[in-house]
Structure 1
């Protein structure tokens, strides 16, 4: 495997995505000063100051040179050469932004030549503009040898960033030909050897460089980095880094390497001293800000840490480590909204960053959004080797969602990830329980919970005891966990969930109220209490729980958004008022796209596309490089019919987030809607290529590919997922979906069975209902009714509480005309979950077909009480009311259904029938004319004509 080396271990501050820190800064040391002319005496004129600056540059005293160059430009701002030299000096001091400005000014003032071209190339690389660099300079050669070597060395970094190693090798060879004795050029070659996986060759080459140039600090730095890669004893690498700094104290990479090793070996005092030395040597460098901020944060010096992290972001606004650090600093300051923003931005640019996903999911979990936290974390869990931190957090989320068995499964997986971690010992104990050794496993968990200061074992133990319905044991375990952190709201939250599981709603409220008392900003407790109030039909009371959160934390935008959502869903606020408040929030928090997205969404619901477009455009104008806002603008443009502008917006999203599939997926949808299946297919290929092992992305690509009749793309995506994750059943489940779309029933059955087999082998205890429904459905479609019946019987016996599969069986029976069997299944669903409105609605429909109007009305009313305002349920209720002779009330309900879903002709037909029954011919005629105008697109035209004839 290729092993790549960074210039400055652990942190690369070039801003291109794929090549962070690889080789790029090796080019920055190339050819500095060799084209400079030494001048005479220091004087006060601009020319004298310029000469003095050149002397300082020759001595690599960039700070003094910068001062002299700025003084020279103050005297004569037309000195283009001074601007060029200032740009070089600023770049070598780590000020990329300042160097870019001065280089542009030098060019504007007429400065040209090979040296400027080489500098411009380096600046493009340092800004992460790799494609622009290659496009502008990839085929260019410079006449001056030193500048040609500089340019080709820069191109090496660009090609490595794009994973074009053969081109990188050609550029490196060209650089060596131009300057065969240049130490920086030879070191660039060493770095490339590491990228090519030739670590031993790289070490031998750096030794040859040192034999010829023993005082080359960069060579000692590189030797230290190679020793780190070769896993040499830390003392050897430390010695190399110290040697490099003794030769050149401004070698930032040596400072960084030394600090990292000292931290890794536990020499915190030595690392602190090294950071102080780095601040003295390179006070304005990005890496200096980074390490200084880490130590300030560790020391609790939040003000200093904040200032340093902000300075770092100004230099490297898209660097993943800079964003992660800024998120941690914001979190320590209590600014959770800002912390979430930093972590979310990091994930946009680097979707596979497990640490960022864990950090963001932790904040979302703390904010009470369990589902969102799990969605954020899922790609980290789908990785080939998920971290134990990600698995442990997934367990905590699942436990709070009431999925104890799933929580235990994640902890068991942690045992495979890190056998020496406490999570692994927890996983082994859970494995014992799964294999029937309950007493042994529970005893191990109790001991681990007692011995460990953390709560991983406590969470596992509580989960097991709740699942075993050992309430007394669970309460005891919760109390033991509470003693570790008496002020935490977690214990009463878990007691509240336990009470809910046992039907003790009063006890649950009491415990959740205690959680709020301990942690007034807890969104988890507020969400649970609000959910209980909604179940009790008290939406106004549910809203008040978020008032309490906002009183404790007025900046808690998540709470206000949740409250607004509740008010809208329960019609406690007018849409216009909600839009007004969301607009205020968007203006108050311009960097947070959520309020603006919500406001624009409401405007689009109102069909006020003009205002929606204006608001979306305002967001992009204020933050022109924020992908979420550009994506929002694209969605509004698409809805407005401005396809070309939407394409432009989504292309910009793709450019800004090259490692995110969002842009290509949006384009695929847009092209598909326009009927351009080929363009949609190409967009899907681009999306899939970005993250071929991302399970959720593969699922989307498969679904969208099948929608445009391109099963070949879907199959390619599934095969990629299977190769990357051979023990993950989703790849085979999706292959089954592809085969099913082709009506290749044997292949679909085989793929679904393979997915089911993998789930069993993985020890899954939670039913994969989606897969079960797919397998049962394809067995029926292929005519294997006996096999389907046997599978259904086995599944319902194994998973007696799987209401979703029961509902599926009801639908199957209904489609086959077996109404009595269908009702039995829907009744079973209601027995498991009395609040399943869909099952109640279907039973009402079946009772009406059976001529049982009283029962039909009872179940229809139940469905509408559980889920008011849902058109299909309102339609059934209207039919039931009509069957009971309550025509006027039935018309009122059906009118509401039509208003909610004006494009569904079946609802209009029933309304016309009700008008006829009520003697309202004029309104009936109006509705029937609308239906008649639909022509053959409405399949019930015969009924329309019959009614029209009846009322003439």
Structure 2
């Protein structure tokens, strides 16, 4: 018997639902169904009413009353998009304007469709005074939101003219008085309204707002909001106000309880979804948070709170391009008081992407505000450190610590600055911070500092501390792997990366690193399998999907298959940036400029506020010869990011390519107005001055840079380059020598050596080269450069020796293999072919390597093979006319004169564009 009772109880919900299901399937007339819907509305059973109204419209699509009631219900439950659709149809089907228009205006307001609302209804006058007053009040609100106070006042006056007792107009008047902070009139207006309409839920909600705004009377405000909900349990703004107020009081339990009540009353309302998402984000439930954010974006894609929530969720998910997209939109539309957290997230995104200039631009308003945020100064300091500006970083750190002496992040960053200057007290401070808290910021800093000094054992000790603090995270294993790679212990690194993946199968950095090691071992198949296995745990991971596409291409998948895969990825993820960029770059690699342009335009339409997409579109437009459109695109980018000097710098580069140096200089000046220390713009300024013969002006800019970067070599390098351009070899050498003393890098060693040669100081150059090779025998770049020098001096024996030294360091260096092959072929040594084939195998799409291989085949009398390979070189670089000349020579050598003549004629047609016309004529004569 007990079992029977249980069974009956389980069936009860289904039995209760049967009347509705039967009504839907039965032959009930539309009139009967409509009557049933009205009963449900009277009983405040919105769900059942909506079902019945939809049943009516299934049977009688032109039933305007059902359409109107459905639209009204959808509006009440927060489905503003659906409400607008149904109310618009009701209007088309003849439902009275007085009945429908005020509600339709509310639905459009809720979606922030302010301009369309005004365009549609501003000139309409409704016959009912109450309805007209309602419409005028809604129009007044739209004008106010658009920052048009005069138009708002006129519309509100018309509302009161239509109906002096209009509750909607009175409510809007109170809101406008609140905005003006005229609290005395707010109080009297609310008191008057509550006398007139004591049961009006919105009046009680406004009383709560007034109490909070005017006197911070939190408990009294909460009581007013609860009174509002008592009058109408769907009073959404009162729920919202209570939850925000409780959260601000750190009463999370109270806020959650209020949200539960809200879910019962308004389960599908966007505000309910918003708070579910927000609280899920706070508790670390990123899956739920993302689901709610994505739902809200479909309902109201331009809502500021929705964009902020979506940006925060994607930031926490490490989906940084998407987070940047949402947060940029939010910052663009939000009032300054709401922007702080989002700006700081944007700054962190830019810092992680290695763009400290953009990070500083995002932070700038926070650094100027009176209510300064310590975290903003700490981030600005990190940005300055990334730019190499230690002094500016210390200044920001100092401000951050002054505002919050206990802020461990600022203390950590300041300690790092000490370490960077060689002050070992920084290590002691980092250890002290680490021991005082369970966070790992200081420990990460210790690992970084020790690794930078190649102190591997100390790095591993710091990682041990991280592992104790965060044993379940993959962080420690990932860091350990990187340290083991640094010390050359590859197997230990692989094991550590695999442990990281075991702890978190969705930890992309580990699988990416393992795949990179596979590729270094020429095991692309292993790398592909790793990513495919990873995607079983995280099937929507975009970087992993892109890696699979790339690896399949490397393993022989056709370009068309690659493009099809990228298009499919874009179709599945239309709001993701990286697949679109991958497609465009692939099309550019194939020389398909028109297709790349089409893809870039599609991307710009789909992601109109994505700066990187606009930058890519401008580049593709320029490649297609559409300079005017490219300039317009870059100007859009500048509007999108008004505090960034990058768009104007790119615009200057475009003008330089178009030989409009005057316009380029104007763009450079605009970039430097935004950020006077932006190096790419300063470099362009120097180049433009030199091109115009303004040498003194160029030197002045160099001196400014040297002053701005007094502890950096960049200003001295620019001085060396300037003097080199003027053939002042002694001055150039002195500048490079000073730069190398500050920053002894391979690039500066090359510049100094080159300047010494040009200064006729060969013995000093030789001494520098010998000393550096002895000190840094594995410096591949410098060794390769010396090989090039020897080759240019026709010291072929020394050049071959140096290129072979490069191959000892890096056996897979295709350029060195190619040069050794060329030198061996010059000496008529048959092993040249083996070296050249290896080079081409490593980089089959390098035309220069194919050209060398073809030449070697020709030297060995294998003309058919030489011709086949040379054709490939020409396909890869159709505008490289020397490849065509070589092909013609091979045709002649093979006795294929007609084919040779065809190629030579093409070269002859180029005229002065191809300078070797004498050789062309001589070959044609054969």
* Bucket of the pairwise TM-score, normalised by the shorter protein: 0.7 to 0.9
Deviation by residue 1:871-907 (Cα, 9 ceiling, x = unmatched): x878856653443235984752553644432321234
* Secondary structure class of the residue paired with 2:264: helix
Say yes or no: does 1:694 pair with 2:680: no
Matches within 5 A, 1:619-768: 637=595, 646=598, 650=601, 657=607, 659-661=609-611, 668-669=618-619, 672=622, 677-708=627-658, 744-759=694-709
* Secondary structure class of the residue paired with 2:444: helix
Say yes or no: does 1:428 pair with 2:406: no
Deviation by residue 1:381-417 (Cα, 9 ceiling, x = unmatched): 5411488779989999999xxx998999989956645
Say yes or no: does 1:850 pair with 2:809: no
In the other structure, the counterpart of 1:127 is 111
* Secondary structure class of the residue paired with 1:528: helix
In the other structure, the counterpart of 2:483 is 498
Answer whether contact 1:693 1:721 (CA < 8 A) is retained.
no
Say yes or no: does 1:84 pair with 2:68: yes
Deviation by residue 1:69-90 (Cα, 9 ceiling, x = unmatched): 7687688654435533542443
Deviation by residue 1:822-856 (Cα, 9 ceiling, x = unmatched): 99999999889988877666544432332222333
Say yes or no: does 1:450 pair with 2:426: no
- Which of 209, 219, 225 matches 2:189? 209
* Secondary structure class of the residue paired with 1:903: coil
1:754–1:140 CA distance, 2 compared to 1 (3 A): farther
In the other structure, the counterpart of 1:289 is 273
Q: CA deviation at 1:476?
A: 2.0
In the other structure, the counterpart of 1:102 is 86
State the alpha-carbon separation in 2 of the partners of residues 920 and 310 from structure 1.
65
1:595–1:686 CA distance, 2 compared to 1 (3 A): closer
Say yes or no: does 1:558 pair with 2:528: no
State the alpha-carbon separation in 2 of the partners of residues 925 and 891 from structure 1.
22
1:376–1:736 CA distance, 2 compared to 1 (3 A): closer
Bigger mean CA offset, 482-491 vs 542-551: 542-551
Say yes or no: does 1:262 pair with 2:246: yes
Answer whether contact 1:349 1:660 (CA < 8 A) is retained.
no
Say yes or no: does 1:796 pair with 2:763: no
In the other structure, the counterpart of 2:424 is 438
Answer whether contact 1:392 1:423 (CA < 8 A) is retained.
yes
Answer whether contact 2:570 2:576 (CA < 8 A) is retained.
yes
CA RMSD across the alignment: 5.4
Q: CA deviation at 1:552?
A: 6.2
* Secondary structure class of the residue paired with 2:88: helix
Answer whether contact 1:404 1:467 (CA < 8 A) is retained.
no
In the other structure, the counterpart of 1:892 is 853
In the other structure, the counterpart of 1:883 is 826
Q: CA deviation at 1:458?
A: 0.7
1:776–1:241 CA distance, 2 compared to 1 (3 A): farther
Q: CA deviation at 1:682?
A: 3.8
Matches within 5 A, 1:891-910: 892-893=853-854, 895=870, 897-909=873-885
Deviation by residue 1:637-686 (Cα, 9 ceiling, x = unmatched): 465xxxxxx59x83x76665554446765665566556565554444333
Bigger mean CA offset, 939-948 vs 341-350: 341-350
- Is the radius of gyration larger for structure 1 or structure 2? 2
1:735–1:939 CA distance, 2 compared to 1 (3 A): same
In the other structure, the counterpart of 1:17 is none
In the other structure, the counterpart of 1:27 is none
Deviation by residue 1:123-173 (Cα, 9 ceiling, x = unmatched): 444334445445445666666655555445444555566555665565556
Answer whether contact 1:413 1:427 (CA < 8 A) is retained.
no
* Secondary structure class of the residue paired with 2:878: coil
State the alpha-carbon separation in 1 of the partners of residues 885 and 457 from structure 2.
58
Matches within 5 A, 1:912-931: 927-931=903-907
1:66–1:573 CA distance, 2 compared to 1 (3 A): closer
Bigger mean CA offset, 382-391 vs 129-138: 382-391
1:224–1:931 CA distance, 2 compared to 1 (3 A): farther
Matches within 5 A, 1:317-332: 317=301, 319=303, 321-322=305-306
In the other structure, the counterpart of 1:944 is 920
State the alpha-carbon separation in 2 of the partners of residues 878 and 238 from structure 1.
83
Answer whether contact 1:349 1:657 (CA < 8 A) is retained.
no
1:553–1:75 CA distance, 2 compared to 1 (3 A): closer
1:273–1:151 CA distance, 2 compared to 1 (3 A): same
1:900–1:653 CA distance, 2 compared to 1 (3 A): closer
1:867–1:301 CA distance, 2 compared to 1 (3 A): closer
Bigger mean CA offset, 849-858 vs 64-73: 64-73
For CA contacts below 8 A with separation 6 or more, give which structure has more relative contact order. Answer: 1
Answer whether contact 1:96 1:126 (CA < 8 A) is retained.
yes
- Which of 514, 517, 525 matches 2:510? 525
In the other structure, the counterpart of 1:933 is 909
- Which of 348, 353, 373 matches 1:374? 353
1:98–1:490 CA distance, 2 compared to 1 (3 A): closer
State the alpha-carbon separation in 1 of the partners of residues 54 and 276 from structure 2.
28
Q: CA deviation at 1:448?
A: 0.7
* Structure 2 gap segments, 5+ residues each: 1-28, 333-338, 368-372, 834-850, 856-869
* Secondary structure class of the residue paired with 1:213: helix
* Structure 1 gap segments, 5+ residues each: 1-43, 365-370, 610-634, 640-645
State the alpha-carbon separation in 2 of the partners of residues 541 and 406 from structure 1.
42
1:156–1:914 CA distance, 2 compared to 1 (3 A): farther
State the alpha-carbon separation in 2 of the partners of residues 783 and 89 from structure 1.
80
Deviation by residue 1:541-569 (Cα, 9 ceiling, x = unmatched): 65565466457656655335324424545
* Secondary structure class of the residue paired with 1:94: coil
Answer whether contact 1:827 1:843 (CA < 8 A) is retained.
no
Matches within 5 A, 1:199-278: 200-201=181-182, 203-214=183-194, 215=198, 217-222=201-206, 224-225=208-209, 232=216, 234-235=218-219, 237-278=221-262
Matches within 5 A, 1:445-484: 445-484=430-469
State the alpha-carbon separation in 2 of the partners of residues 237 and 907 from structure 1.
81
Matches within 5 A, 1:560-599: 560-566=545-551, 568-569=553-554, 573-575=557-559, 578=562, 598=582
Answer whether contact 1:496 1:511 (CA < 8 A) is retained.
yes
Bigger mean CA offset, 908-917 vs 853-862: 908-917
1:540–1:250 CA distance, 2 compared to 1 (3 A): closer
Matches within 5 A, 1:17-166: 78-111=62-95, 113=97, 116-137=100-121, 146-159=130-143
State the alpha-carbon separation in 1 of the partners of residues 623 and 191 from structure 2.
66
Deviation by residue 1:724-779 (Cα, 9 ceiling, x = unmatched): 5567666656655665665544444444544554455xxxx8x585x765554345
In the other structure, the counterpart of 2:866 is none
- Which of 711, 721, 726 matches 1:777? 721
State the alpha-carbon separation in 2 of the partners of residues 284 and 852 from structure 1.
79
Q: CA deviation at 1:520?
A: 5.2
